[in-house]
C-alpha cells in the first residue's frame, strides 16, 4: 500500500495493463479519458468505465456525454452508469488506485491549478476490493445511445431553467491541455496582483505588467470574494504545487545562484516552442517567492542568491 501522485500513477497503471482496465469515477471529462485511452496497450481486451452521468453533472460541465463514443472506439470498451457512484477507482487487474481523484484534468494534476487529491495503490488481493468491484458491476446499467440522448435533453433543459457555472472540481478542460509543468509567473510586480484581482490596475500599471497579471490570475484561478489575507495564502499554496517551483525549492535549500537558476530554466524550456528569457523569468520568480512566501525564502542581496530557510509559522 502506498500513496501515489494521481496523474502519473494513473497513466503508469494504464500503460502497464496487459489485458484489462477498469475505471470508476463520478466525473469524467473527454480530454482526460482520451489521454488514458491513447496509452492503452494493444493487448488489453476489456476496458470498463463506470460513471454517474447525472443530468445536473452534465449541465454543470462536470462530466461529458462524448465519453460514450470515445469508449466505443476502444477494443472491449464498455461504459456503465451508476447514479449513486462517488468512489474513484482505477485498476489494471493486478493492482488498483483508490482515493479522491476524478478523471478530470484538475483531479489528476493536468490543469493549473490542480486539486489537492489522494490516490492510494492497493494490490488486487486487498481484502474486499474484488468484491466491491463485482458489486459495482452488478448494480450499474449499460450506457446506450438512447440513455445518452435522454440525459442530454434533461441537461439542456436544466441549463435553460437553472444556469450553472463550471464547478470548481473540474474547471474548463480544453481538448489540448497546456503542459502545466512549465508554468511560471509573468507579472514582474507580484504586489500588484491583489489590485488586479480586485478589478484595478488598468489605468495605473504598465500595460504589459497588467496583462501579465491578468494572465497569471487566469492560470491560478483564485475564487472570487477572497480577503487580501486569504488571497495571499491561496496564491502561496498554489505556488507550492507548481512543478518548476517545486524543483526550485529543492535547489534553493543549499542556495540558488542566478547562474544555476538560469541554466535550470533554460533546460526546462529547451523543447518548448515558446522561448523564454531565463534572466527575466528568474527575476520574476524570485520576486514572487519572496513576496508570497516570505517565511520560507530570503535573498542574500550581496550575491542575489535565493535561500530557503527554516519555515516560520504564520501568525
Asked if residue 269 has pLDDT above 70, the reply is: yes
What integer best gives the mean pLDDT of the chain?
A: 87
Average pLDDT of span 78-83: 94
Tell me the pairing of strands 77-81 and 46-51.
Answer: parallel
**Percent over 70 (pLDDT), the chain:** 90
Q: What digits encode the pLDDT tens for the residues 206-231?
A: 999 999 999 999 888 887 888 899 89
The percent of residues above 90 in pLDDT, for the chain, comes to 61
- pLDDT, tens only, 129-139: 999 999 999 99
Q: Would you state the pLDDT for residue 45?
A: 93
Going by pLDDT thresholds of 50, 70 and 90, the confidence category of residue 313 is low
Residues 248, 264: Cα–Cα separation, whole Å: 9
If you average pLDDT over each of 212-216, 253-257, 299-303, which comes out highest?
212-216
Asked if the model's pLDDT at residue 311 lies above 90, the reply is no
pLDDT of residue 287: 94
Name all domains of the chain by residue range, CATH numbers in brackets: 2-161 (3.30.870.10), 180-308 (no CATH)
Residues 63-90 have a mean pLDDT of 94
pLDDT surpassing 70 at residue 140:
yes
pLDDT at residue 173, as a whole number? 57
Q: Which residue, among 16, 76, 18, 72, has the nearest Cα to 46 in the 3D structure?
A: 76
β-sheet bridge partners, residue 96: 91, 122
pLDDT tens, position by position, 44-58: 999 999 999 999 999
- Tracing cell 466525473 back to the chain, one arrives at 27
Contacts by 31-35 with C-beta closer than 8 Å and gap 24+?
A: 31/105, 31/173, 31/174, 31/175, 31/176, 31/177, 32/103, 32/104, 32/105, 32/107, 32/108, 32/110, 32/173, 33/67, 33/70, 33/71, 33/103, 34/70, 35/11, 35/110, 35/177
Whether the predicted pLDDT of 242 surpasses 60: yes
Q: What is the average pLDDT across 143-147?
A: 93
Which one, of 35, 152, 168, 40, lies nearest residue 93 by Cα? 40
* pLDDT tens-place string over residues 16-32: 999 999 999 999 999 99
Which is it for strands 77-81 and 2-4: parallel, antiparallel or unpaired? unpaired
User: What value does the mean pLDDT take over residues 70-89?
Assistant: 94
State how far the Cα of 138 lies from the Cα of 135, in Å rounded to an integer.
5
Amino acid at each position: 500500500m502506498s500513496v501515489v501522485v494521481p496523474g502519473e500513477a494513473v497513466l503508469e497503471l494504464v500503460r502497464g495493463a496487459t489485458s484489462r482496465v477498469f475505471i470508476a469515477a463520478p466525473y469524467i471529462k473527454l480530454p482526460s479519458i482520451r489521454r488514458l485511452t491513447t496509452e492503452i496497450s494493444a493487448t488489453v481486451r476489456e476496458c470498463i468505465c463506470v460513471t454517474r452521468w447525472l443530468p445536473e453533472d452534465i449541465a454543470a460541465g462536470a462530466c461529458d456525454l462524448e465519453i460514450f463514443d470515445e469508449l466505443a472506439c476502444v477494443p472491449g470498451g464498455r461504459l456503465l452508469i451508476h447514479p449513486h457512484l462517488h468512489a474513484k477507482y482505477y485498476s489494471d487487474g493486478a493492482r488498483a488506485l483508490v482515493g479522491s481523484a476524478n478523471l478530470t484534468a484538475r483531479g489528476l494534476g493536468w490543469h493549473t491549478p490542480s486539486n489537492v487529491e489522494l490516490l492510494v495503490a492497493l494490490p488486487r488481493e486487498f481484502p474486499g476490493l474484488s468484491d466491491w468491484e463485482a458489486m459495482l458491476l452488478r448494480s450499474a446499467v449499460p450506457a446506450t445511445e438512447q440513455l445518452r440522448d435522454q440525459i442530454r435533453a434533461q441537461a439542456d433543459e436544466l441549463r435553460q431553467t437553472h444556469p450553472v457555472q463550471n464547478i470548481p472540481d473540474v474547471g474548463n478542460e480544453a481538448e489540448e491541455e497546456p503542459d502545466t509543468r512549465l508554468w511560471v509567473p509573468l507579472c514582474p510586480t507580484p504586489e500588484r496582483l491583489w489590485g488586479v484581482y480586485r478589478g484595478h490596475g488598468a489605468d495605473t500599471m504598465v500595460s504589459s505588467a497588467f496583462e501579465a497579471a491578468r494572465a497569471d490570475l487566469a492560470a491560478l484561478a483564485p475564487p472570487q470574494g477572497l480577503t487580501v489575507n486569504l488571497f495571499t495564502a491561496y496564491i502561496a499554496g498554489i505556488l507550492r504545487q507548481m512543478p518548476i517551483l517545486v524543483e526550485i525549492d529543492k535547489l534553493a535549500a543549499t542556495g540558488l545562484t542566478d547562474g544555476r537558476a538560469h541554466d535550470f530554466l533554460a533546460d526546462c524550456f529547451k523543447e518548448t516552442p515558446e522561448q523564454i528569457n531565463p534572466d527575466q523569468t528568474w527575476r520574476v520568480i524570485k520576486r514572487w517567492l519572496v513576496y508570497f512566501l516570505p517565511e520560507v525564502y530570503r535573498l542574500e542581496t550581496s550575491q542575489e542568491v535565493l535561500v530557503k530557510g527554516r519555515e516560520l509559522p504564520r501568525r
